[in-house]
Structure 1
């Protein structure tokens, strides 16, 4: 693996190896001093063109816990504001000697293009509505920790399917490891290529989550939607929002995931987000472990 651009590009074996490595490195987070010298002397640059709390911070922490140096770049205050192209900015950063570039961009395909241009590994931290591979990996790790397996589980991905990069990474990742995936959401928010995805897609929330062990609730991504697609958040919550009552009736054994940030009272009720079925906090912790594993793998880390 030279870059991490999407889970669709990885085999089941490669995904499993990354999960195993993530689990091993997760132990570092439980130490009083969260620091190992594994990537000492390397530098990781993050370039984010969209807002981020969890992904950006966890990549930076992952690098620091492995003793790599980090530099955070954003369009504001950079030469991009002076008209420099993204491609020239990325080449400039690579020429300064960084060892990996973590990129988030609103346009699908940007990380792949950068990977073709640059001599250093590129990690996709989310590109448009395409993929978010490290989110998919941390979701897999969280579910595997809870159930001890992925194969044979029924997984419902619920919400804004068309605009969510998480939906695609989860679809590819869970399917590759033997889970049965269902996509659930308003017809307006079905992916344009839904017939080619090879999994059931439904507007019926009750039918979609019934009997599932895992329910991934997606954020309603208004920033990517055409105006007026969802005119009333209360109506959306009434039809597709997940509540403790709905979960208990339709999937009483299920755990709930959410990639964040959560719109409480829109796609998920607060009592459910904070309740015993929620694995959201564990997802956040696992995000650091997964990103440590990806950096370790791409930068040639050796155990110490």
Structure 2
């Protein structure tokens, strides 16, 4: 897998492998260790949208893995004068970037960067428009899997899925890139029950409904959902 653009692109095996690595890295962090597996590599953080948590999380991980970091913000750059994504990508390729982490307000921008032929550099999607936020969905799955392992008395969540869990998603789901990414990821980590509050979810579900696979959908009230949750 060269790029990470959307959780819908991940197989079940790939998703579990990523979650297992995340679990191992959490152990490394707890032991205050660093792994210089990216020593000599340059990661460029391309943030065309403002961000605090996602940007700092990526920077922290990159440093812990020994990478050299170049931060790019649209504000104060030539983007504000009309420079295109293509121009920016080719400029950064010229400084020997090894990976791009991109957040963009336009849905599909990371995929365009990865597949347009402007560069052959791996692309990680840190959120694009209302489309997808795969790394946030993976982080949610890490938390859910850790909870499930503790509940089931397992020493480690490694190698496990989210089979049998009941998950409630609350918020403006129609415009949520995180919710969309969660839907596709949960599809591969089930079967499970996904619960949501009335109305807001309807159009989103219709757009992906028949392809969700093992997920079972229920429309319930807040009171009912809190009574039936495994994890909120």
- TM-score, normalized by the shorter chain, greater than 0.5: yes
Report the secondary structure of 1:84's partner residue: coil
Deviations 1:236-287 (A, max 9, x none): xxxxxxxxxxxxxxxxxxxxxxxxxxxxxxxxxxxxxxxxxxxxxxxxxxxx
TM-score when normalising by structure 2: 0.85
Which deviates more, 148-157 or 39-48? Answer: 148-157
The corresponding residue for 2:102 is: 103
The corresponding residue for 1:84 is: 83
The corresponding residue for 1:301 is: none
The corresponding residue for 2:68 is: 69
Counterpart-to-counterpart distance in 1, 2:6 and 2:112: 13
- Does the aligned pair in 1 maintain the 2:42–2:98 contact within 8 Å? yes
- Does the aligned pair in 1 maintain the 2:36–2:65 contact within 8 Å? yes
- Structure 1 pair 201–93 and aligned structure 2 pair: CA distance change class (3 A): farther
Deviations 1:150-208 (A, max 9, x none): 11111111111011111011111122111424352452x33634224245263622334
Counterpart-to-counterpart distance in 2, 1:164 and 1:115: 22
TM-score when normalising by structure 1: 0.66
Report the secondary structure of 1:192's partner residue: helix
Which deviates more, 195-204 or 96-105? Answer: 195-204
Match among 177, 184, 192 for residue 172 of structure 1: 184
- Structure 1 pair 181–129 and aligned structure 2 pair: CA distance change class (3 A): farther
- Does the aligned pair in 2 maintain the 1:175–1:181 contact within 8 Å? no
Please list every run of at least 4 consecutive aligned residues from structure 1 whose deviation after the TM superposition is greater than 4 angstroms. Answer: none
Match among 199, 202, 209 for residue 219 of structure 2: 202
Whether 1:27 and 2:27 are equivalent positions in the alignment is yes
- Structure 1 pair 184–82 and aligned structure 2 pair: CA distance change class (3 A): same
Counterpart-to-counterpart distance in 1, 2:195 and 2:89: 36
The corresponding residue for 2:55 is: 56
- Does the aligned pair in 2 maintain the 1:194–1:201 contact within 8 Å? no
Following superposition, the deviation at residue 28 of structure 1 comes to 2.0
Unaligned 5+ runs, structure 1: 216-304
- Structure 1 pair 203–25 and aligned structure 2 pair: CA distance change class (3 A): same
- Does the aligned pair in 1 maintain the 2:46–2:72 contact within 8 Å? yes
Aligned-residue Cα RMSD (Å) equals 1.8
Unaligned 5+ runs, structure 2: 150-160
The corresponding residue for 1:295 is: none
The corresponding residue for 1:156 is: 168
Deviations 1:63-106 (A, max 9, x none): 11110001111111111122211221112112211100001111
The corresponding residue for 1:17 is: 17
Counterpart-to-counterpart distance in 1, 2:202 and 2:98: 35
